[in-house]
Structures are given as structure tokens and as C-alpha cells.
A = this chain, B = another copy of it.
Amino acid sequence: MTTLNRPGAPDGHACGIDTAMEVIGGKWKVLLLWALHEHPCRRFGELRRLLPGITEKVLASHLREMEADGVVRRVSYDEVPPRVEYSLTEDGTRLNDALRPLAAWGRARPAVRRSG
């Protein structure tokens, strides 16, 4: 999205929305957020199995971006075979909470056609 030049928006929320949208903008990021909320401290392979359909490449890049965004914490143990554990940061948990109303809206909405 790059910088959104929200038009009028005096104290508007659009300015915050774009930040959030950048963070959750990836195809699997909300799922990842949710998975890490449900299962704290998950390993790469476990996450892959939790999100059937995601590829290693995308999982790795999403995790990396979310780590850079400060919503995911990555802990690497120097063992062999390698072990890496991912968990939500406090900010990530707050983000997850902030998504609740949106999820509720999605669930509560009237029957939508448009799916075809």
C-alpha cells in the first residue's frame, strides 16, 4: 500500500488502518497470527502443518516480515537438527485482539452473494 495519503481525515483512523493493513496484508498473516495465538511457541514445521496449503517460502517470508514488524518473536536454539520457535509478542497479541471486532463483523454479516 505504501503511504496512504488519506484525504480529509482530520483525526481519522485511516492513518492507523494503513499501518495495520501493511502488517496483516500478507495472504496468510492473519492465519499465522491466529495459529500462534492458539498455539504459543510453535516450530517452523509445526506452523507449516497448522496451515495446510502454505509453502515454506511464503511461511518463511511472512514470519520474517512479522518479526520485523514486531508482532512475532523468533527464538533459535543452536542444536542439531536445528530448532526455531515462534511466538507472538505483546504487540502481536494486541493486534490479534484488535482483529476480534473485524472477525465478529465477518461472522455476523448477512448472507453475501458475490462469492461467484
A contacts, CB < 8 Å to B: 1, 4-9, 12-21, 23-24, 27, 30-31, 34-35, 38-39, 50-53, 65, 68-70, 91, 94-95, 97-110, 112-114
Contact of A8 among B7, B20, B38 (CB under 8 A): B38
Q: Which 4 A-B pairs have the closest CB atoms?
A: A16-B106, A13-B103, A19-B106, A16-B103
Q: How far is the CB of A104 from chain B (nearest CB, A)?
A: 6
A17 touching B30 in the complex, CB below 8 Å, given contacts A5-B53, A7-B52, A97-B101: yes
Q: Could you list 14 further interchain pairs (A-B, Cβ under 8 angstroms) beyond the known A6-B31, A97-B101?
A: A5-B52, A6-B34, A7-B51, A8-B39, A14-B103, A15-B107, A16-B102, A18-B30, A19-B112, A65-B114, A68-B113, A70-B112, A95-B105, A98-B102
The winner among A34, A53, A107 for most chain B CB atoms within 10 A is: A34
23 cross-chain CB contacts under 8 A: A1-B27, A4-B31, A5-B52, A6-B34, A7-B50, A13-B34, A13-B99, A13-B104, A14-B34, A15-B106, A15-B107, A16-B102, A16-B104, A17-B99, A19-B106, A19-B107, A19-B112, A20-B105, A23-B106, A70-B109, A95-B105, A98-B101, A98-B104
